[in-house]
């Protein structure tokens, strides 16, 4: 009996009968070996569906050659197909090994400096530039430029220690009219600093400027018709009249011929009488004192061994200090004296001129209180940069064993000659043979101060008696005891106790 034909019905059988031919399948169906018929949807083309405006195929126009033209939709479909291909790329094709990943940049390695630091405690051939150190130089160096007249007023003809006073100190507290005029043409004028200059001297000797002018004219050096004048030190602000050595100190000599100027600066110091002695100095904006700092404390001792050890400690500490290295590197990159070279070479070169001088002195109570004074060649002529350089050195801690070196707790300055290299009571000028100038009454001043302290009157190196109001020092007031600059004092103790 023939099997009825159902166009939408298909028969599925066991997979084991999938290989039978048509006759065998018909026999198998007849015997009931096949399963019940199942109905499924007639196979349709997946691209053929109900057409609408969105999926209706676009009628493509043809070009001149008869080929279909590529439309914008074709291009978009092509891009989408490319994206699908990229998404289906096998994982093993992705480059993700360690070598291909970006690496973090390592810091640049510093090249080793072949420079080897010298032994800081070895003072062989040191200090350098000592022939330039004003602390050990003398006046009257070289040949006498011009001989004074035989009829000149007598004065002590000797070589004296050189005085190095910066221009800013010479002009300190002078009226602006004077300072501005000098700064505009400093080579035209000469600074005249009387021995023991200050309030008391100018008050007790109101005609000192004319006395010095008569002496200079008597020298007979230079043009006879030169018009000389010496101006008194007019103050910018009224100084404290209780302080004998208060600034301003400087009188101004104007009108000197080149010959007279050369002789006055060559001789420098003129000791004329027991009431008259003075220095003749140039207004040099580049002049710098070589004094770096004053050191006090229990570590200060006399002798070469202690001096060498202290110098080694100071230099080795500075060589490895970041602030000092930065400052030296900033001041000496193009210097013909300190460079060229690496920073290590220049920090060592900057300290080769360092020297320590032992100063034997006493404090205000009469106790032994020696000081080491560190000197060295300045690295710059700029007074502001030089001040920064000194500030760096002075604010670094130094230790000698268990003793810390006390820096700038006490300052050195002579109230008589205005030098910052020795105390007033050991001023070398009056000790010069044939000295004709004033003799300091240091012993009498020291005795009066001790008597005043014993009576509680507060008389000391800053002034006489106690003033009212706040002042620096142990006592309150402008004349209080203790701290302050020695040039404000009575001339015996060179020391002031700084904060």
* CA pair distance 11, 34, nearest whole angstrom: 8
Residue 293, SS3 per DSSP: strand
Residue 55: per-residue pLDDT = 55
Residue 281, SS3 per DSSP: strand
Q: State pTM to two decimals.
A: 0.68
Give the total residue count for the chain.
Answer: 499
Least confident of 12-21, 57-66, 429-438: 12-21
* CA pair distance 364, 450, nearest whole angstrom: 8
* CA pair distance 431, 250, nearest whole angstrom: 24
Pairwise pLDDT comparison (390 vs 107), residue with the higher score: 390
Residue 224: per-residue pLDDT = 86
For the segment 246-256, the average pLDDT, to the nearest whole number, is: 95
Q: What is the mean pLDDT of the chain?
A: 79
Q: Which ranges constitute the DSSP H helices of 247-382?
A: 258-267, 304-319, 322-331, 343-350
Q: Which ranges constitute the DSSP H helices of 97-161?
A: none
Question: For residue 281, which of 242, 253, 319 has the smallest C-alpha distance?
Answer: 253
Pairwise pLDDT comparison (491 vs 431), residue with the higher score: 431
Q: Which residue is it, tokens 């360092």?
A: 354
Digit-coded pLDDT (tens) for 20-78? 555 555 555 555 544 444 444 444 554 545 555 555 555 556 666 666 666 666 666 66
Q: Which residues contact 155 (CB under 8 A, 6 or more apart)?
A: 215, 270, 271, 272, 436
Least confident of 21-35, 137-151, 441-455: 21-35
Digit-coded pLDDT (tens) for 312-330? 999 999 999 999 999 999 9
* CA pair distance 93, 23, nearest whole angstrom: 52
Residue 363: per-residue pLDDT = 76
Residue 381: per-residue pLDDT = 86
Residue 163: per-residue pLDDT = 93
Residue 464, SS3 per DSSP: coil
The yes-or-no verdict on residue 270 having pLDDT over 50 is: yes
Write 469-475 long-range contacts (CB < 8 A, 24+).
472/499
Question: For residue 424, which of 436, 412, 432 has the smallest C-alpha distance?
Answer: 412
The yes-or-no verdict on residue 375 having pLDDT over 70 is: yes
* CA pair distance 395, 387, nearest whole angstrom: 12
Least confident of 73-77, 310-314, 363-367, 439-443: 73-77
Digit-coded pLDDT (tens) for 203-228? 999 999 999 999 999 999 999 889 99
pLDDT confidence band for 366 (50 / 70 / 90): confident
Peptide bond into 175 cis (omega under 30): no
Q: Would you tell me how many other CB atoms lie within 10 Å of the CB of residue 435?
A: 18
Question: For residue 215, which of 141, 266, 170, 269 has the smallest C-alpha distance?
Answer: 269
Residue 288: per-residue pLDDT = 86
Pairwise pLDDT comparison (432 vs 63), residue with the higher score: 432
* CA pair distance 321, 315, nearest whole angstrom: 10
Digit-coded pLDDT (tens) for 458-488? 444 444 443 434 443 434 343 333 333 444 4
Least confident of 20-34, 243-257, 261-275, 468-482: 468-482
- Beta pairing class for 189-194 and 276-282: antiparallel
Output phi, psi for 189, to 5 deg: -120, 165
Residue 9: per-residue pLDDT = 46
Least confident of 95-109, 215-229, 278-292, 350-364: 95-109
For the segment 151-177, the average pLDDT, to the nearest whole number, is: 94
* CA pair distance 361, 359, nearest whole angstrom: 6
Task: State percent of the chain over pLDDT 90.
Answer: 54
Question: For residue 355, which of 308, 418, 318 has the smallest C-alpha distance?
Answer: 308
For the segment 430-459, the average pLDDT, to the nearest whole number, is: 74
- Domains in the chain: boundaries: 130-282, 291-410
Pairwise pLDDT comparison (168 vs 105), residue with the higher score: 168
* CA pair distance 280, 93, nearest whole angstrom: 92
Residue 426: per-residue pLDDT = 87
Pairwise pLDDT comparison (436 vs 13), residue with the higher score: 436
């Amino acid at each position: 009996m023939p099997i009825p034909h159902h166009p939408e019905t298909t028969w599925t059988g066991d997979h084991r009968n999938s290989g039978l031919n048509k006759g065998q399948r018909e026999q198998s169906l007849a015997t009931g070996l096949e399963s019940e018929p199942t109905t499924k949807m007639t196979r349709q083309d997946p691209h053929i569906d109900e057409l609408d405006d969105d999926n209706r195929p676009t009628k493509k126009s043809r070009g001149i050659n008869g080929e279909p033209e590529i439309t914008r939709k074709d291009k978009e479909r092509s891009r989408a197909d490319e994206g699908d291909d990229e998404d289906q790329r096998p994982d093993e094709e992705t480059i993700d090994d360690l070598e291909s990943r970006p690496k973090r940049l390592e810091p640049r390695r510093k090249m080793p400096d072949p420079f080897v630091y010298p032994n800081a405690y070895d003072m062989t051939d040191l200090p350098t530039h000592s022939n330039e150190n004003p602390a050990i130089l003398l006046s009257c160096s070289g040949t006498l430029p011009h001989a004074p007249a035989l009829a000149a007023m007598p004065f002590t003809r000797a070589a004296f220690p050189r005085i190095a006073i910066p221009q800013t100190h010479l002009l300190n507290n002078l009226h602006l009219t004077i300072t501005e005029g000098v700064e505009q043409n400093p080579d035209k004028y000469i600074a005249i600093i009387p021995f023991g200059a200050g309030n008391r001297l100018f008050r007790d000797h109101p005609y000192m400027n004319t006395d010095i002018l008569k002496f200079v004219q008597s020298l007979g050096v230079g043009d006879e018709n030169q018009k000389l004048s010496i101006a008194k030190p007019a103050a910018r602000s009224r100084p404290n009249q209780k302080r004998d050595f208060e600034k301003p100190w400087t009188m101004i000599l104007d009108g000197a011929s080149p010959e007279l100027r050369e002789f006055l600066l060559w001789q420098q110091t003129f000791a004329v009488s027991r009431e008259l002695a003075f220095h003749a100095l140039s207004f040099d904006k580049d002049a710098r004192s070589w004094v770096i700092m004053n050191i006090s404390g229990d570590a200060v001792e006399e002798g070469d061994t202690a001096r060498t050890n202290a110098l080694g400690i100071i230099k080795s500490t500075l060589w490895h200090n970041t602030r000092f290295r930065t400052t030296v590197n900033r001041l000496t990159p193009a210097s013909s004296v300190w460079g060229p070279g690496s920073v290590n070479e220049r920090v060592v070169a900057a300290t080769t001129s360092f020297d320590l001088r032992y100063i034997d002195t006493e404090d205000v109570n009469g106790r032994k209180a020696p000081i080491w004074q560190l000197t060295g060649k300045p690295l710059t002529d700029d007074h502001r940069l030089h001040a920064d350089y000194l500030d760096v050195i002075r604010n670094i801690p130094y230790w000698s064993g268990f003793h810390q070196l006390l820096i700038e707790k006490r300052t050195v300055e002579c109230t008589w000659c205005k030098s910052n290299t020795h105390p007033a009571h050991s001023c070398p000028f009056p000790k010069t043979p044939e000295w004709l100038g004033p003799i300091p009454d240091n012993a009498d001043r020291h005795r009066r101060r001790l008597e005043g302290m014993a009576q509680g009157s507060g008389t000391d190196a800053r002034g006489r008696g106690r003033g009212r109001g706040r002042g620096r020092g142990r006592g309150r007031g402008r004349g209080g005891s203790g701290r302050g600059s020695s040039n404000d004092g009575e001339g015996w103790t060179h020391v002031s106790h700084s904060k």
